[in-house]
Structures are given as structure tokens and as C-alpha cells.
Amino acid sequence: MRLLAIVEYDGTEFAGFQIQKRGRTVQGELERALHKITGEKIRVIGAGRTDTGVHALAQGAHFDTTWDRPLEILRRALNAVLPNDIAIRNLTQVAADFSARYSATNRTYRYTILNAATRSPLAQRYVLSVAEPLDAIAMNDAAQELIGEKDFGAFGTPPRGDNTIRKMLRAEVKRDGVRIYIELEANAFLYRMVRRIVGTLILVGKGALNKAEFRDVIAKHQRAGQAVPPHGLCLIAVRYD
């Protein structure tokens, strides 16, 4: 049977989700745990290939198994052998032709900024510290220019081929005390697209770029900002019909 796992992980010590020639990966740890519990050599397919250092609250991943006991027993057994920076939150049986990647209708990422004069050692694994005051209202206003089906080639590259058209469903910047959260929901994302969008929105927040200039960046009439570091980024949701 085919199962969909919803996986949470701290990406700090991982070289991304997908198995690499070198480095520890989320996919590698999941496959090792599955082999230990089931005795099967199982390939795990993720909804997205999060980069080195990127976290996930709800990454989707599917795999096939001959497991014939209750799924809750499998989930608990896997969590017992997985390392502390990975946990399977949920296991569900899905159709045989289901794909965690291609059946996903949209994905949501959140980037967190600590906008305070003093950095936070306890939070530094999960936030980007920016000491200079940022105008979150201006950032949110500019972010609305991202909504719709557009060419996002100014912000990233496609994982394969040359199609840079993506559909942004929601773009929101909100402040909660000293933290600023940037949430982007789209049908799919380009490589480093979120991190470069955030880097460009930070320029807006600092007053170095206005809304019209941000629109010019999308149209490739002006260069985008630098990609922010990965540790502030988290995949928070993958939606399926």
C-alpha cells in the first residue's frame, strides 16, 4: 500500500531533504528508519526538496510498503528510531497513484525575521536577525504585487527545464512584536525563490526600495535583493485535494 507521511524536522543539521552523495538528509534518515522497522528497502518521495538548513513543520512524503498492521503502530515505531530532529506527525493510506510531489496543489512557506536591536541566542537557529527597523506594512503592501500567475524568474531558477511561471495564491507580511513573519503560498516554487523574495522585501522594509521598484524587480527591470540565509525558512503546509 502507499502511505502519505506528514513530517516535521529541524533542518539545521541536514543537507536538505533529498539524498545527496555527501551529507545527512531527511530522506536518508526516513529510509533508514523504514528499513529498520519493516525490513524493506523503501524509497521515500517528498513534496518538496527543501535546501540545506531549511526546516519543515508539515512536509509531505509518500512511500510504498507491505506493512499490514495499524498505521499508528508504524508511526510510533518510526518515531522511536528516528533522530530527535525528525518526527512523523501523521500517516495516511492514499491511492496507489498518489504522489506527494505531483498531487500537491499548493505549498506554504514562512520566513521569520527577528527585528530587534539585540539578537536572540535561543532563537538564532530559526530566525534571521535584522537590527535595523523594518516597515512591515510597506513590506506587506509590496508583497501583494506577487499575487497571481507570473514569471518569477527574477527570484529563482526552475528545478528542471526553463519554465519560471508560478501561481502565487497568497503573500502576507505581518508583525508580532519584534518578529516579522513572511508567508508565501503558491502552486510551486523556484529554487531559492522564497529566500530572494524575502531579501527583496527586506529592502522595501528598510526604505531602500519602494512598491513601484519592487514591481520592476518582478518584471526583471531591476535586480532582486540577495537571498536571505536558509535557517529562517520553514515549509509549514502542503495541500492536497
| pLDDT (0 to 100) of residue 21 | 85
pLDDT score, position 161: 82
Q: Which domains are delineated in the chain?
A: 2-94 (3.30.70.580), 106-240 (3.30.70.660)
pLDDT for residue 160: 81
- Three cell numbers written together for 70: 495499524
- Does 190 score more than 90 pLDDT? yes
Per-residue confidence at 15, pLDDT binned at 50, 70, 90? Answer: very high
pLDDT of residue 49: 85
The pLDDT > 70 percentage for the chain reads 100
pLDDT tens for each residue of 107-165: 999 999 999 999 999 999 999 999 999 999 999 999 999 999 999 999 999 988 889 99
Rounded Cα distance between 4 and 17, Å, is 16
* pTM of the entire predicted model: 0.95
Just list the catalytic residues: 51
Q: What CA dihedral angle connects 58, 131, 153 and 186, to 10 degrees?
A: 30
pLDDT at 48 over 90: no
